[in-house]
């Protein structure tokens, strides 16, 4: 018999076809986040849950889902799931790592370019009908070629951003909890510096750390004061890595030149004043938003789901201790 599965939100067509073919599928056809009550009701008699990063799967939900065998998250991050509670219930949790590296790195560099060349301001000017033609001093931006890029978090995505920076002849600095070997540093062309030194030297600071207790508000008032007034901050990691109200104050006061954000501390809500600033580029969490990447993510999530429903360990299990 096909495993009984619940999907919280529509996924790309190829993924949906596979789910309909290989599972007994029930799903929320509306493009919205389901409530805790809806989740509990939907998961009665269901073995598998395929959820997204917007779905809060906490202990109160898990306590009422006796038949659940696996939670497959559509995303690399899984802080939307109470993994401790899931582990206590012997429910494996799985994510979709490795497939969104290039898409997210592309977006991070796109935000960098958009900020430096004031593309958001320019686009708004043209659309408003107030553009009167070319001017020699209009919307002058910052040079990217030859500038210094500081990358905080040098995993797969951080290194992919460094590769893109080399095409612009940028000097790349990085900080990571674990320093690369000399051979690895030579291959990437990046130089390790201490955290505070990176903030003080970089013209562009790009964040690529996982979210957790240690990285909550990694960038706050004190760190923003270390940055150069002409520097820009890019975040495509997790919103709460930045103290968002502190960032708004820094942008309002000119403490830093600008920011490019794809993620937010309390998304989809923004900190007051953020959307009123001209020196910030705001994207709606588009890091992995390509057809190819989202389809691959969905297929990985289904692989995780089917493996656990069959009694096997999911390929991307984040709490392997449930298997002893």
| DSSP, residue by residue, 31-54 | SSPPPHHHHHHHTTT-SEEEEETT
Other beta carbons less than 10 A from residue 214's beta carbon: 9
Taking a C-beta distance cutoff of 8 angstroms, is the pair 209, 218 a contact? yes
Taking a C-beta distance cutoff of 8 angstroms, is the pair 278, 121 a contact? yes
Angstrom distance (rounded) from CA 101 to CA 290? 12
Residue 209 is classified by DSSP as: P
Other beta carbons less than 10 A from residue 5's beta carbon: 25
Picking from 316, 320, 289, the residue whose alpha carbon sits closest to that of residue 95 is 316
C-alpha 35 chain-centroid distance: 23
Taking a C-beta distance cutoff of 8 angstroms, is the pair 61, 35 a contact? no
- Considering the candidates 56, 217, 285, 313, report the single residue annotated as catalytic: 285
Question: Does residue 238 carry a catalytic annotation?
Answer: yes
Residue 262 is classified by DSSP as: S
- The enclosing H or E element of 297 equals helix 291-309
- Considering the candidates 238, 244, 265, 294, report the single residue annotated as catalytic: 238
Q: What share of the chain is helix, strand, coil (3-state, %, to 5)?
A: 40, 15, 45
β-pairing, 4-7 vs 24-27, is: parallel
Exposure b/e, 69-84, CB count within 10 A at least 16 = b = bbbbbbbbbbebbbbe
- Considering the candidates 56, 217, 267, 313, report the single residue annotated as catalytic: 267
Any idea which residues carry the catalytic annotation? 238, 267, 285
């Amino acid at each position: 018999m096909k495993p009984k599965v619940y999907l919280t939100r529509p996924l790309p067509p190829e993924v949906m076809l596979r789910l309909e073919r290989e599972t007994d599928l029930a799903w929320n056809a509306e493009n919205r986040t389901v409530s805790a009550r809806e989740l509990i009701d939907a998961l009665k008699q269901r073995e598998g849950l395929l959820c997204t990063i917007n779905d809060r799967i906490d202990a109160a939900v898990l306590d009422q889902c006796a038949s659940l065998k696996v939670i497959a998250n559509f995303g690399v991050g899984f802080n939307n799931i109470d993994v401790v509670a899931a582990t206590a219930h012997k429910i494996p949790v799985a994510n979709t790592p490795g497939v969104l590296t290039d898409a997210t790195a592309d977006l991070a560099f796109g935000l960098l370019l958009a900020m430096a060349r004031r593309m958001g301001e320019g686009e708004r000017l043209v659309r408003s009908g107030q553009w009167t033609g070319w001017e020699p001093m209009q919307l002058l931006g910052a040079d990217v070629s030859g500038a210094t890029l500081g990358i905080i978090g040098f995993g797969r995505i951080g290194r992919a951003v460094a590769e893109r920076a080399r095409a612009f002849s940028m000097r790349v600095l990085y900080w990571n909890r674990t320093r690369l070997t000399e051979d690895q540093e030579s291959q990437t062309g990046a130089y390790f510096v201490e955290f505070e030194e990176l903030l003080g030297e970089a013209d562009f600071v790009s964040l690529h750390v996982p979210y957790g207790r240690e990285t909550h508000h990694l960038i706050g008032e004190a760190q923003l004061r270390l940055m150069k007034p002409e520097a820009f901050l890019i975040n495509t990691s997790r919103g709460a890595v930045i103290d968002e109200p502190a960032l708004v104050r820094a942008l309002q006061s000119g403490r830093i030149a600008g920011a490019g954000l794809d993620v937010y501390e309390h998304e989809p809500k923004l900190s007051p004043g953020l959307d009123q600033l001209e020196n910030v580029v705001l994207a709606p969490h588009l890091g992995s938003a390509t057809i190819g990447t989202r389809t691959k993510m969905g297929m990985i999530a289904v692989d995780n789901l089917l493996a656990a429903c069959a009694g096997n360990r999911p390929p991307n299990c984040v709490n392997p201790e449930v298997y002893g």
